[in-house]
Structure 1
Amino acid sequence: MIVFSEHTTLNSESARDLEQVTKVAQASGCRVYFIPSDFDDCGDAEGALCYVPQQQIPKKAVYIGYIPTIERYNEIYNAAKQKNIYLVNSPQEYALAEHFHLYYSSIEDLTPKSYFLTDETMIDELDLTFPVFVKGTILSLKSLGIGIVHDKEQLRKVAHDLFCKYKKQTVGNVIVREYAKLRHVRTSKLGFPFGREYRVFLYKGEVLSYGYYWDGEDELSKLSATEESEVLYLAQKAAKRISTPYIAIDIGQLESRKWIVIEMGDGQFCGATHVPLFQLWNELLAKVRKF
């Protein structure tokens, strides 16, 4: 399988994660081609892939890097297609998995009730019970302390910041969710609770690998055999409702001990944290060949 990697020599946490994933992909037998994270020096997607050989027979590919805009993903997809290379997820499948407002209706009964704002004036129309959780349609900003909101005035400020400062994460939609009280023993420096949460990677509904969501040691990270079955069952249930082949689904446990779907994303761009990378890539390669 072919891998397009945006790995660079930048020294950041996300860059180091991408370097690790790229090395594991290479060690697992993938042919890796490095592409720039923007088109400033190469003009366009065709320029970014100009040195990639034309394939005599169709080849599957995985694109790993930073979450791209749908326009960039579409351009990379089409440039690869011209070389007889096909990303595991089509542009439509990528958009579905990455945009909360597109997949929410498919998992509405498995996840906290959510509302969608396209502008700040819609806040007054909502009958909310506070606190609520607020996120962009593509990414939450928990690492920045943006998330839990306690009243409408604070919600207006957070929504304004999301619309104005974090346009890439919102893509025109701010998500307001019922606050799910997850089991936790740790919090971030900004006070955000590190809820008991797991990321499960799947390909066409079959589990590849999974791991605890948060970095660091956590006494809640270990699952019993019964809990593991419950987490993986719920992830598969959600994945089967979404047409995206390679997907990552986050599963969290409420204080009541019930498991819920938190969110999902295109598996190509989701961080692995405690997910065993060699298992993930070996299973992904096996499943891609199988299907």
Structure 2
Amino acid sequence: MLRAGEDLLQVEERLWVLSAPTGQGIYDFGFDRFFACRRPYQLPASLEVVARVGVWNDYEVRYRELAAEGVTLVHSPEQHLLATELPHWYPRLTDLTPRSVWFDERPDAKTVEAELGWPVFVKGERQTSRHRKSLSIIEGPAQFDAAMAAYATDPILHWQRVVCRELRPLRRVEEGAPDRIPSSFEFRTFWWRGALVGWGPYWWQGSPYTMTEAEQHEALGLGREVARRVDVPFLVVDVAQEVSGRWIVIECNDGQESGYAGVSPFALWRNILDLELKRSR
């Protein structure tokens, strides 16, 4: 049942976690270093599991494999797509996020210009390629054609559908490296069964920044509304502030696959465990 490197743990007798190291400090967390954990001698007939193994490119296959052994991932394949891919979550959030279009085949510049004009923000349906500015913030047709040529061979982007989004004026934190998307006033939020369990700066490695109490009220209120509309058990919502002061949704993700960014992983899992204790009573 377990693949190489995977470990199945019951954490604090409240939550089953399927974990595996990825080598990424922003993602990995040693559950048994911080919480009381046990490995099962014998599995119960059925159990629900949160996966923290990185990204499975064959999520549906893995879901079926585990289900055959009585292990149910916290997200069904349908919920995983809803949380992860923009074409699935965008229709529920059209009033909260920049206008977006996507294409099954890489589009030409004329098509994108007719839909959105210039400039545009371009990404894969799941993610960018290491936040590269030259492949994301596109000012005109020539740059777009060059980006599409790069998308065809990029190891992260070549298999994803192309998404083009209205480029909104975001409040900047810092410019960053020459070919990196500028750091905006953006925050990552984690939601467990609709409840907030963690938030922190998305651009956690640069200049420190945080929200005022009033900003928290608006930003986290937006995240809560997104969690209500998307309605999956473990959701990540990234929100950012425009220069006008308006808060918008940047993207959603499956909490099983998402890095912590500036969120404390210990506090995140402590909050989830506390919620699971309440559910069990």
TM-score class normalised by the smaller sequence: 0.7 to 0.9
Q: Which structure has the highest helix share of the two?
A: 1
Equivalent in the alignment of 2:222: 234
Equivalent in the alignment of 1:214: 203
Equivalent in the alignment of 2:36: 29
Equivalent in the alignment of 1:101: 87
Q: Any gaps of 5 or more consecutive residues in structure 2?
A: 1-14
Contact map agreement 1:54 1:84 (CA 8 A) in 2: no
CA–CA separation in structure 1 for the residues paired with 2:220 and 2:228: 12
1:17 aligns with 2:3: no
Specify the code of the residue in structure 2 equivalent to 1:28.
F
CA RMSD of aligned residues (A): 2.3
Name the SS of the counterpart of 2:36 in structure 1.
Answer: coil
Q: 2:145 aligns with which of 147, 153, 156?
A: 156
CA–CA separation in structure 2 for the residues paired with 1:243 and 1:92: 12
CA–CA separation in structure 2 for the residues paired with 1:230 and 1:276: 21
1:116 aligns with 2:102: yes
Equivalent in the alignment of 1:68: 56
1:267-282 correspondence runs (5 A): 267-282=255-270
Contact map agreement 2:198 2:268 (CA 8 A) in 1: yes
Q: 1:2 aligns with which of 12, 16, 35?
A: 16
| Equivalent residue pairs, number | 261
In terms of mean alpha carbon deviation, does 89-98 or 166-175 score higher? 166-175
CA–CA separation in structure 2 for the residues paired with 1:54 and 1:86: 16
Contact map agreement 2:106 2:161 (CA 8 A) in 1: no
The alpha carbon displacement at 1:222 in A equals 1.7
Q: 2:63 aligns with which of 77, 93, 96?
A: 77
The alpha carbon displacement at 1:156 in A equals 2.2
**What TM-score, normalized to structure 2?**
0.84
**What TM-score, normalized to structure 1?**
0.81
The alpha carbon displacement at 1:62 in A equals 1.3
Contact map agreement 1:197 1:253 (CA 8 A) in 2: yes
Identity across matched positions, percent = 26
CA–CA separation in structure 1 for the residues paired with 2:36 and 2:76: 23
Equivalent in the alignment of 2:127: 139
CA–CA separation in structure 2 for the residues paired with 1:196 and 1:255: 9
CA–CA separation in structure 1 for the residues paired with 2:38 and 2:168: 42
Distance 1:169 1:281, change over 3 A: farther
Q: Any gaps of 5 or more consecutive residues in structure 1?
A: 33-51
1:174 aligns with 2:188: no
1:205 aligns with 2:190: no
The alpha carbon displacement at 1:124 in A equals 2.0
CA–CA separation in structure 2 for the residues paired with 1:169 and 1:68: 15
CA–CA separation in structure 1 for the residues paired with 2:62 and 2:56: 10
Contact map agreement 1:183 1:255 (CA 8 A) in 2: yes
Distance 1:121 1:91, change over 3 A: closer
The alpha carbon displacement at 1:168 in A equals 5.0
Equivalent in the alignment of 1:88: 74
CA–CA separation in structure 1 for the residues paired with 2:84 and 2:32: 22
Contact map agreement 1:28 1:278 (CA 8 A) in 2: no
